[in-house]
Amino acid sequence: MIYLTAGRLNIGLLINGLEDDFANAICKGAAEYAKISDINLFVFPGQNFQMKLTTIGDTLFNSQYGTVFSYIPKDNLDAIIISAGSIFNKYDEQQAIDLIRQFSDIPTVTLCYESEGCGCVRYDASVGLGTLIEHIIVDHGCRKIAFVAGSEDNCDSRHRLQIYRDVLRKHSIEYREDLVEHGDFSTDSTQCIVRLLDRFDNKIDAICCANDHIATYAYKVIEERGLRVGQDIIVTGYDNVSLSLSLNPLLTTVNANPSNIGSTAVGLAMEMIKTRKPRTITLQSMPLIRESCGFHTGPIYSSTFSQSLAAMRSKDDKSAVSIGMFNYFRDDILPFSDLLIDQLSDPKTESINHDQLLSIFINVIKSRASDTLFAMSVYDFVKSMHAATERFCSSEKKRIQLADLYNDIYKKTCSFLQALACTQKQESRNYNLLISSLTFLVNSDQNACLSEIMQHLCRLNVRNAYLYLAEKSIPITDPSVAHAFDRLQLKAYHHGVNCVVPDDIPDFERGSLLCNDYIDFSKRVTLVTVPLFTINEQLGVAVFDLPVNLFDYVHILSRQLSTALESIGLFSRMINYIEYIEQRNHMLTTIASKDSLTGLYNRYGFFQYSESAARDPANNGRRAMVVFVDMDNLKPTNDTFGHEEGDFALCLINDALQKCFGSDSIIGRIGGDEFAVLTFPEETDTEYTIIDRFKSILRELSDNSGKPYHVTSSIGVAVLKCSVKALIRDYLDIADKWLYQDKAVKPKSILKE
């Protein structure tokens, strides 16, 4: 093996967990730039020290993730990049300073946080956010504009709030404290949105969110109240992470793309290695106007084509979608539009270059496309582009040629997107299946298990992997307390397809896990270090040499790998209890699909299992029903009797669903007060008998509950025939229409007489 190949730089990156969109994008930008620059990148995804994750269990184990910072090979790094702005989300100034000082003897670049003696990369929010707020004031006439900031002690949050105040002052709009709430950049901000809307009885013109993550909760609360984002209330975000393009309608946001921070930071680190002179690079943000602020005009658009596109807006077209997509493709699509307009408007040119223009457009789509682009959105975009460029035609012949061009553009783009979506869906399923099946690679031969695990990692396209395990694991008695191992053993590793479980197990101190003779530095690497632990014990550390597309799976991969390794150890010690271990592993792999209050499937679990059942070849052609149930008056019940009684009422509906549909049906709680069922009814059952049976059961349970209030619900039913193409969401929409008809006659009072 080659020990830290001479001539290739080695740069470390300290970041919070890769399941966070912001951190993930930074890492991807850094990794891509490192690849282009032929340098080694060492990624240490710890965890935000104060971050509350999606589950209580994850939050309790934050300190376990933080142990990865103890394994940094400081003496073998040429420079270090520290994402202090995300690791210390609710700034503990001293913690940030202490961490940065550990690397004072090598060039250090900080992200979104300036520190003396360090280089820094950050975005200037002033232009992008300021212009965006001005846009909703000037172009939409908004005056009652709320702002949801991050935590009060986060400097980025304070800066963005100040921009909001400055823009209001510039336009002579009074700043009101009651229009401002403080959420959190990383955790659930639902309640602050609820407080805002309750305070103003939903009568707010716009909600500006300090990042895209907060904006997702604004969407959720607004839609739960029967309002429409972009029409009833404008919503905007900040960052332009991939999340912003997954929302419907597309989120208007500020392009401060974290991937640019990552790539710029690597470039700055390389510069500082040569010059030893720190400097701050401030990236300029820009607004991205999409559907969530409705229709708009465009001081933000500069080109002839984009001005023409924006000028087309009207209340009966799809220009909001089109301009949103134009912003997404902006830098890449302008060469196409400029060339097209030149050829259309030049009377000396007899024909437009159909093949050249088609090739340019399709290449743009291929370079920037994702599974968030849908065929109808592309159709609206192409249709608007067609109309915007048609006025430049210098002859009727070119008008016909233009129509042919856009027709081919649409057909080829849709064909590509369809193939891309199928590939991505299958790839995601394959990764999830392979990762989850790690937990089943357990038998009584420990070495055979380790060998199979390494082969499994090969199948996942992990280029190289190293498993460092403790000779004796550390029991976890307090999840908030974690210990870094002083020494670990290299129990197994693989280079490409060459998997090794050494007979003489090498042993290393913590500082040499990533710089020893077993690490393959013959080629450039992107090494990601993750802790291995379960709810019971700390096991060690895994080091993966990963391609960028696997960053999204690091968190689940480390958890499943940890579970598999724990199972191997338990199997060797307690072979008589293997059935118990498998049951627990199954619980760990399925816990994410369960609702904590009712024990039913949550939204994710319901759609996963119901769609699987509907598409099961064994059920092909079988009659089924999708039932949508929504509790009536949950908020009045909570407000009058307290949230514990509201929870009781939800559990009562759960009991009624269990009695009505039985264990053969798939039942889920898919929202706060929403339930869904996939059931295979008897031949004599109709939609009406199902509805009557459920309401009768719920009525009886409510009458006998001993509570002073009624528990009622609205219900809708849709009938389907199972097939490999069945989409449960489509039938749930049909059932939802029935439900809202039923809800129209819900009781006004919840009190029993």
**pLDDT averaged over 10-residue windows placed end to end, the chain, 753 residues:** 62 87 87 93 76 43 82 93 74 73 92 88 88 92 94 83 95 95 85 94 94 92 93 92 76 86 94 94 85 57 45 41 49 74 83 88 71 53 76 85 86 72 55 53 70 84 92 86 91 91 92 91 93 90 90 82 79 54 60 80 89 92 94 91 92 93 89 93 91 93 91 93 91 91 81 80
CB atoms within 10 A of CB 218: 29
CA distance 81 to 14: 6
Is 521 strand, coil or helix?
A: coil
For 342-369, give one letter per residue: b (16+ CB within 10 A) or e.
ebbeeeeeeebeeeebbebbbebbeeeb
The alpha helices in 686-727, defined as continuous H runs, are 687-703
DSSP-assigned letter for residue 186: S
Identify the structural domains of the chain with CATH numbers, from first to last. Answer: 1-297 (3.40.50.2300), 301-436 (no CATH), 441-518+550-592 (no CATH), 594-743 (3.30.70.270)
In this prediction, residue 57 carries a pLDDT of 41
User: What is the total residue count of the chain?
Assistant: 753
CA distance 30 to 9: 14
CA distance 713 to 154: 43
From start to end of 534-592, where are the E strands?
537-545
Judge contact between 151 and 182, C-beta under 8 A.
Answer: yes
Report helix, strand and coil shares of the chain as percent, to nearest 5.
50, 20, 30
In this prediction, residue 280 carries a pLDDT of 93
**Token output for 395:** 């002859």
Q: Rounded to whole angstroms, what are the CA distances from 68 to 83, 469, 481, 529?
A: 14, 14, 14, 7
CA distance 318 to 561: 47
Strand partners, 146: 207
DSSP-assigned letter for residue 89: S
CB atoms within 10 A of CB 54: 11
Backbone angles phi, psi at 665, to 5 degrees: -90, 160
CA 250 from centroid of its chain's CA atoms: 14
Helix (H) or strand (E) holding 210: none
In this prediction, residue 331 carries a pLDDT of 56
Judge contact between 215 and 223, C-beta under 8 A.
Answer: no
Strand partners, 493: 466, 500
**Of 722, 721, 702, whose CA–CA distance to 712 is shortest?**
702
Q: Is the dihedral of CA 180, 181, 182, 186 positive or negative?
A: negative
Strand partners, 209: 148
Judge contact between 81 and 11, C-beta under 8 A.
Answer: yes
In this prediction, residue 56 carries a pLDDT of 37
| Residue recorded with tokens 């890449």 | 332
Q: How many CA atoms lie within 13 A of 64 on its CB side?
A: 28
Q: What is the CA radius of gyration of the chain?
A: 28
State the pairing for strand pair 10-15/464-475.
unpaired
CB atoms within 10 A of CB 93: 12
Judge contact between 673 and 637, C-beta under 8 A.
Answer: no
CA distance 599 to 669: 9
CA distance 381 to 413: 11
Judge contact between 518 and 506, C-beta under 8 A.
Answer: yes
CB atoms within 10 A of CB 647: 15
In this prediction, residue 287 carries a pLDDT of 86
